[in-house]
């Protein structure tokens, strides 16, 4: 068993650090809701079949157009609007990861959340002016949302005791999975009853309210928080005494690039994002082409994987920390166990999908499990940077996430090409390519993955760029 963490009595579940994890969970829910709701509201925003200027339009139709304004946006314009939220993400990841270790995470996350929420309120009036303004709002909103998601990792450098990293990070990050589920459930109802602009107003207003709560409740350092109990403060700070440095040294870039454990995490992030993005984008297409259900049933079936992914993510954190606190497994054994579950199980379920298309219930169950079980990685490789380099956690998460985004972009493009060129055996190729990438990255991680703090990340090392 790893001897880095002396046995201590852990304070109860109702503590401030768990409240902070829940607060970040809500932030992630709203950020992903603000990002993904447009994919559903777009159906109402462009659904225009009557010629403009028709004089005998009914009163009901006029009222409906007032509640749900429609625009003549071509499919190309819609595609640009959808993808515009990712334009700045590639360039902002690493700078945010680096700056989050230097400047106040409270201000970075809070201001970015407020900006994203404010822009959500601006999207309906921007649509009235023209699609260019919508695209501009989405670009800036995407940058602010990436800032929230990337900068928050630095929170746990000072707030997460080593024995609780799994449950605290999984609880907060699982909000990224619950957000799309909520959007898929409520957006259609809001559009029908209140109009599509209210979707943006509701999520934007909730984000502004949560932003206020964030600035009031969160402090960068538990030592400075006026409300946290003395016992909890002492528990957190004592458990992190030998891992958190008060001074910020130069980034050991060369050492990081030569580190096999870093590349093991990076390659695993590539595979994780490949799998998640493929299932996220093409699950509705697969359901439509194989199961032939109507759009309402398709929406429900597409939402279920997010719900189960949320459950699996929380379970991964709870169980991994249970193993750690009870000295059942070492840290590296736990990380490799949950990484194996998060990569091997989706590979198995995905490999079975092409052979189950004749059975509706089996296809649905395996499709849900293929998407949901990847969340077990939250207790494994996705938290591993905090084990090997807590002082550079924010930067490492940004770097590995950037590689992950690359995997997501390649997967969506390549999957589309496969489906377009070879419709007969397309899904077989899509799923087995995903299986191959998962297995290669898993083997590499099992061989080279580590959980001890690396030499270049220890106090007193002065490796520069």
Whether 202 contacts 186, CB under 8 Å: no
What is the rounded (10 degree) CA torsion for 253, 265, 157, 211? Answer: 100
pLDDT of residue 180: 87
| Per-residue tokens: 215 | 């600035």
Size (the chain), residues: 465
Nearest to 431 by CA among 266, 289, 270, 274: 274
What is residue 410's predicted lDDT score, i.e. its pLDDT? 86
Q: Quick one: pLDDT at residue 248?
A: 56
Whole-structure pTM over 0.75, yes or no?
Answer: yes
Maximum C-alpha span of the chain:
79
Sequence-ordered alpha helix ranges (H) in 218-252: 230-239
pLDDT at res. 286: 81
Contact 182, 81 (CB under 8 A): no
Q: 3-class SS at 65?
A: helix
Cβ contact 451:388 at 8 Å: yes
Residue partners of 132: CB distance under 8 A and separation at least 6: none
Residue 1, token pair as written in the block: 């068993």
Tokens of 409: 């972009």
Six-digit token pair at 173?
A: 């990050």
Give residue 463's pLDDT.
46
Which residues in the chain land under pLDDT 70? 1-13, 47-66, 242-249, 294-296, 423-424, 459-465
Residue-level pLDDT at 50: 43
pLDDT tens-digit profile of 205-259?
Answer: 999 999 999 999 999 988 888 888 888 888 888 887 765 555 556 788 899 999 9
Q: Find, among 424, 283, 249, 293, the residue nearest to 367 by Cα.
A: 283
Predicted local distance difference test score (pLDDT) of residue 54: 37
Q: Which residues lie closer than 8 Å to 430 by C-beta, 6 or more apart?
A: 278, 282, 415, 418, 419
List the one residue out of 390, 368, 426, 447 whose CA is nearest residue 248.
Answer: 390
DSSP code per residue over 154-221: GHHHHH--GGGHHHHHHHHHTHHHHHHHHHHHHHHHHHHHT-THHHHHHHHHHHHHHHHHHHHH--SS
């Amino acid at each position: 068993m790893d001897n880095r963490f002396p046995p201590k009595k852990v304070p109860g579940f109702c503590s401030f650090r768990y409240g902070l994890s829940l607060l970040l969970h809500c932030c992630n829910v709203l950020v992903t809701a603000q990002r993904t709701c447009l994919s559903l509201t777009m159906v109402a925003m462009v659904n225009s079949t009557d010629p403009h200027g028709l004089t005998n339009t009914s009163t009901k139709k006029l009222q409906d157009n007032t509640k749900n304004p429609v625009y003549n946006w071509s499919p190309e314009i819609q595609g640009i609007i959808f993808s515009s939220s990712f334009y700045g993400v590639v360039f902002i990841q690493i700078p945010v990861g680096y700056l989050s270790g230097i400047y106040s995470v409270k201000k970075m996350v809070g201001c970015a959340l407020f900006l994203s929420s404010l822009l959500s309120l601006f999207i309906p009036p921007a649509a009235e002016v023209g699609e260019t303004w919508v695209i501009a709002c989405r670009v800036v909103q995407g940058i602010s949302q990436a800032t929230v998601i990337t900068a928050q990792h630095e929170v746990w450098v000072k707030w997460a005791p080593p024995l609780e990293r799994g449950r605290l990070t999984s609880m907060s990050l699982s909000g990224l999975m619950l957000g799309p589920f909520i959007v898929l459930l409520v957006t259609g109802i809001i559009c029908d009853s209140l109009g599509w602009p209210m979707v943006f107003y509701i999520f934007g207003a909730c984000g502004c309210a949560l932003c206020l709560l964030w600035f009031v409740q969160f402090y960068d350092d538990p030592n400075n928080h006026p409300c946290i109990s003395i016992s909890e403060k002492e528990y957190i700070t004592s458990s992190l005494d030998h891992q958190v440095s008060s001074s910020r040294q130069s980034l050991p870039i060369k050492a990081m690039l030569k580190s096999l454990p870093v590349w093991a995490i990076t390659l695993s992030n590539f595979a994780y994002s490949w799998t998640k993005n493929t299932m996220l984008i093409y699950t509705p297409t697969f359901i439509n082409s194989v199961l032939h259900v109507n759009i309402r049933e398709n929406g429900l079936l597409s939402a279920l994987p997010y719900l189960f992914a949320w459950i699996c993510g929380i379970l991964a954190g709870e169980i991994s920390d249970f193993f750690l606190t009870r000295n059942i497994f070492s840290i590296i054994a736990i990380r490799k166990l949950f990484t194996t579950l998060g990569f091997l199980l989706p590979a198995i379920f995905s490999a079975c999908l092409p052979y189950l298309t004749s059975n509706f219930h089996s296809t649905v169950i395996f499709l849900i499990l293929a998407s949901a079980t990847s969340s077990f990685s939250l207790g494994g490789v996705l938290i591993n940077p905090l084990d090997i380099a807590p002082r550079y956690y924010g930067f490492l998460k940004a770097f590995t996430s950037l590689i992950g985004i690359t995997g997501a972009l390649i997967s969506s493009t390549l999957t589309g090409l496969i489906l377009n060129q070879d419709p007969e055996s397309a899904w077989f190729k899509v799923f087995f390519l995903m299986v191959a990438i998962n297995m290669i990255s898993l083997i590499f991680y099992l061989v080279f993955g580590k959980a001890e703090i690396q030499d270049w990340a220890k106090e007193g090392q002065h490796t520069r760029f």
